[in-house]
Structure 1
């Protein structure tokens, strides 16, 4: 049986499939609203913590709750999307760090981890301190980050930029310690360059240890 064709020689099946694909594709405004909600929620969580409400997020986005719930089933689903966005950004940064020379790549990777863990502390707590749905949903993303860190750490060791007794697994813990630095300690206020100095001290220690090995 030959398929029906329209006047221009195209089969009805092909035309129908194209029309169905257009009907089933998300509208451009729906995608924009989803991206806007993720962006706004990311900033809101960084500023207010994980307890930020849907009301606050939609207020900042200039959208209504109905629009929110058309894009996300729950606040938790939105937070998971934000976490995925952050992990994607970390992966992109580590990919660039791996393309630099080993010593610079190690520095860039540590700085990237420090900045993201400090800025998105609440989101990383979802992965580290509250294992469960969030960790399971982003298991692949975490695995890719670990593999990138392994590559960067091993390159640094081979180049003498990191002591052979150190492990690449130490890197996120070092970054987490720097990211958790308080703004004040024993009455001493942290200045804007504190993180850079501490990061430089850590890297100098790793290099010095490698030179003695």
Structure 2
């Protein structure tokens, strides 16, 4: 948690708009276009349903875009600075939102079947190994029957020489300073992982990058588990 907290403190002190720093505006435009495309494709539940962003940060990306579209927005992040900042982001925008500091591997503040939409705000790829299955099980618990979970996640294998040099092929993750830092699984492995966690794949799309790709995967609770 300390690395995330330090980054948010540094970003805020530098007067930058969010996690992506100088790239924030461009990333926000891409995310807005993606959400609009999902809406046109009838892949989003209609507003004003309850929506949760995992790893919401300062709520200046998916949480804000969803609130502007009429969703009842909640967010969770491990950084206390990010959560304080999130409340200020929404207050400045004149929007209502509920944000809590917490761990996406266990979310006791949220009751079962609380949300029609859960959006992974580039959080899932920050989880390594068994932590991912813990998070996915919690998402299944808090998602309403027929609800939508969108995984917005890094997708491997890497392409750039720099990324390849720190890629652990066996464990499908990037390593920084000898420590796994980001999960970077190929798309077939991501789809299989979500299926094993109890999600049906509704749609998936890939955004190509020179270093690695980014996947947007739309899922809902597996039909075979709906009544369990």
User: What is the TM-score of this pair, normalised by structure 2?
Assistant: 0.28
Higher strand proportion: 2
Higher helix proportion: 1
The structure with the larger Rg is 1
Q: Greater relative contact order (Cα 8 A, min sep 6): structure 1 or 2? A: 1
